[in-house]
Amino acid sequence: MKTKTITACLGFLFTCAAHAQSPEENYPTRAVTLVVPTAAGGSNSIIARLIAQKLQSQLGQGIIVENKPGANSAIGAQYVAKAKPDGYTLLLTGAATFTTNPILYPNLGYKPQDFDYVAITGKTPLVLITNTETGFKSVSDVIAAARKSPGMLAYASFGSGSTAHLAGESFSRKANISLIHTAYKGSTPGLADLMGNQIPLSFDTLPAALPLIKAKKIVALAVTTESPFAQLPNVPTIASTGLGEFNFAAWFVLAAPKGTPVAVLKRIEEATKAAMGSADLQQSLLLNGIENTFMDGAAVNSLMNKEMEHNKVIIRQANIKPE
């Protein structure tokens, strides 16, 4: 009888120990919040919503996409950095959140080291765009107009210190022209002003600009990547216009708060890889101007370090300051 009692107690203890491990092993057991630290309508929101549809099928739980814009993505990033590291609050953002903000803003409220990086979920070129009223048909037209009236031609970006801002300043320096930078709080208001001819030029991500380009409401002059993009096969690269090496792309990073259990990170990474491997998601991304570029968490850090060094050079050369 005594032996049976001991055996029963040991069995109970082993059962308890197994249950103690279940929160990580059974992840997720409820909905996951995917924070986008920019306004709705921009490229971050577009890719987040596309991936969320597939990711929730892979994880078996709902994915709630929540926009928390402000301070050039710092508000949303800080929110996730301080969230409980259990895998139920994730961040999907452009790489500039980690590779430009820390250079420009010393008091962000977060550091790149405050996150565990899960994956790169895609990339997209930026595009130099104008409206139908300017008459600009090419990069050469823009350069000629800027040289004719130095310091008079303005361009929009979706935020001070954003990848679009850096691309614009690099373009100005390589073309030996002076453009006025106007920072907007996201893509949507800048594109609205561009269409209304309140501003003549803009650098923006292709996902944000593509519907307006297809509708012929704005004009694409060039893309900022090394190669042309499939959705705009007749639009040249800036590098091909004679300005030398020019390569700017927006990378989309999926991250979790630092200290998230390894098993949970692996589960999210595997689910993301499987989601991005689906043919219909790949097609949806392409139609929205996003290249399906999956990289695992280990590869993200290497890319981040390379991008940060590149951005430091641009910021120093253009003397970019926080606005």
Tens digit of each residue's pLDDT, the chain (323 residues): 445 554 545 455 455 554 555 567 789 999 999 999 988 888 899 999 999 999 999 999 999 999 999 888 999 999 999 999 999 999 999 999 999 999 998 888 999 999 999 999 999 999 999 999 999 999 999 999 999 999 999 999 998 889 999 999 999 999 999 999 999 988 999 999 999 999 999 999 999 999 999 999 999 999 999 999 989 999 999 999 999 999 999 999 999 999 999 999 999 999 999 999 999 999 999 999 999 889 999 889 888 889 999 999 999 988 888 76
- The SS3 of residue 75 is helix
Sign for the pseudo-dihedral over CA of 117, 102, 311, 41: positive
pLDDT of residue 22: 55
- H/E stretch holding 163 reads helix 163-175
Max Cα distance, the chain (Å):
100
Span 125-241: which CATH code? 3.40.190.10
Q: Where are the domains of the chain?
A: 31-124+249-318, 125-241
Beta strands in 177-277 (DSSP E): 180-183, 201-205, 218-223, 249-257
Domain 31-124+249-318, architecture per CATH? 3-Layer(aba) Sandwich (3.40)
**Comparing 31-124+249-318 with 125-241, is the CATH topology the same?**
yes
Say how far apart CA 205 and CA 98 lie, in whole Å.
18
